[in-house]
Amino acid sequence: MTIRVLICDDSSMARKQMARALPKNWKADVTFAFDGRHGLERLKETGSELLFLDLNMPEMDGYQVLKAIREQDLPVLTIVVSGDIQPEARERVRKLGAIDFIKKPTDTDQVARILRDYGFLQPDEFETGKARPGPTPPEPTPVSLPDYLQEISNVAMGRSSDLLARLLKVFVKQPIPRVEMITTSELSMAISAADTHTRYSAVCQGFLGAGIAGEAMLLFADANFDEMAKLLMYEEGTTENLQVEVLMDMSSILFGAFINGISDQLDIKLRLGHPTVLGQHRKVGDLLDYHRSKQEKLLCIEIGYELENTNISCDMLILLTEDSVPFLKQRLKYLVD
């Protein structure tokens, strides 16, 4: 008997990875959806029995899809596939009715184990450790570099959020990473969250390895500092010291976990330098303006972190130099094919 399966993820790379992770001999009819709303439509059209659902998606996110499935009483079993590894995320999707949780990047053995545990796999179909052969997924869109970077950023972001959540005992909302090619002069404009009135402080930290070079940057609005210092339970020190302290601690955690996450997925070694305070209490334009001596193209990944039930948000930028792009493309080719 063939089972109808729907894979719902906004990233074409993630859809591809998920389809590949399905057991080789499994008799399944796989269809795809590219965001939450599309996923719900396809679900009703195809009458899929099993749904692999991403959480961070535009239009409707995974949480909203789970709610809709429950409200409309759709006869589908949902397995969440996400880079968000905060224990709280797992708890929330279970409460919303997901039967299990698979952490990205998808592990073939784990998928097979879950499918067997829930009885989707017959014993004769059970064969782990082998990828599904090429022709099965009817995935039309090829994976582009921005899409691929968005997906690995998504997974890396999940790791930094997990650390932050553990340290601060809060839930970190997972945004969708924005990836775009910009020029250095557009840098301040590229920061979508930044407005001209707010004053910011910033830390940056260079990283390097395997032909890839760039900088990680954390922008923190001044208005956030007091609340953040309270969350971190800092008591001693003057206000000025505390603010640098907050910036350094946040960047150590977010950058460290994020860069490690990227390194692991690309299977390369990236080394972070010592962080530098770029400036304090300045407008975003001024913070970045001063460093803009030569024109260059940059690959910019922007992630806006938000801490739930607080007013705290901060902007993380990962900027990659133009000459890193060929190396990234090479890795992409290696990982996707």
Question: Contact residues for another protein (CB under 8 A)?
Answer: 163, 166-167, 205, 235-237, 241, 244-245, 248-249, 251-253, 256-257, 260, 272, 274-277
Q: Which of 130, 166 has the CB closer to another protein?
A: 166
Q: Name, in order, each residue with C-beta under 8 angstroms of 264's C-beta and a sequence gap of 6 or more.
A: none
Q: Which of 60, 229 has the CB closer to another protein?
A: 229
User: What CA–CA distance (Å, rounded) separates 71 from 63?
Assistant: 12
Nearest Cα neighbor of 78 from 59, 96, 57 is 96
Structure-derived torsion over alpha carbons of residues 228, 190, 279, 233, reported in degrees to the nearest 10: 10
Per the rule left: phi > 0, alpha: psi between -120 and 50, beta: everything else, 9 is: beta
Q: Which of 235, 337 has the CB closer to another protein?
A: 235
CA 193 to chain centre: 18
Bridge pairing between strands 313-321 and 178-183: unpaired
Strand partners, 215: 206, 319
Q: Which of 164, 300 has the CB closer to another protein?
A: 164
Q: Least Å distance between CB 241 and another protein?
A: 5
Q: Which of 112, 257 has the CB closer to another protein?
A: 257
Q: Least Å distance between CB 9 and another protein?
A: 28
Q: Least Å distance between CB 229 and another protein?
A: 12
Q: Least Å distance between CB 23 and another protein?
A: 30
Q: Which of 39, 279 has the CB closer to another protein?
A: 279
Measured CA to CA in angstroms, residue 38 lies from 42, 70, 96, 99, 100 at distances of: 6, 17, 19, 21, 22
Cis peptide before 105 (omega within 30 of 0): yes
Q: Which of 278, 320 has the CB closer to another protein?
A: 278
Nearest Cα neighbor of 89 from 81, 188, 39, 137 is 81
Question: Positive or negative, the Cα torsion across 259, 261, 266, 268?
Answer: positive
Q: Least Å distance between CB 191 and another protein?
A: 23
Q: Which of 74, 253 has the CB closer to another protein?
A: 253
For residue 83, give the 3-state DSSP assignment: coil
Q: Least Å distance between CB 244 and another protein?
A: 4
Q: Least Å distance between CB 256 and another protein?
A: 4
User: What CA–CA distance (Å, rounded) separates 46 from 52?
Assistant: 14
Task: Give yes or no for a contact between 60 and 68, defined as CB atoms under 8 angstroms apart.
Answer: yes
Q: Least Å distance between CB 263 and another protein?
A: 13
Adjacency order of strands within the sheet including 28-33: 28-33, 3-8, 50-53, 77-82, 100-103
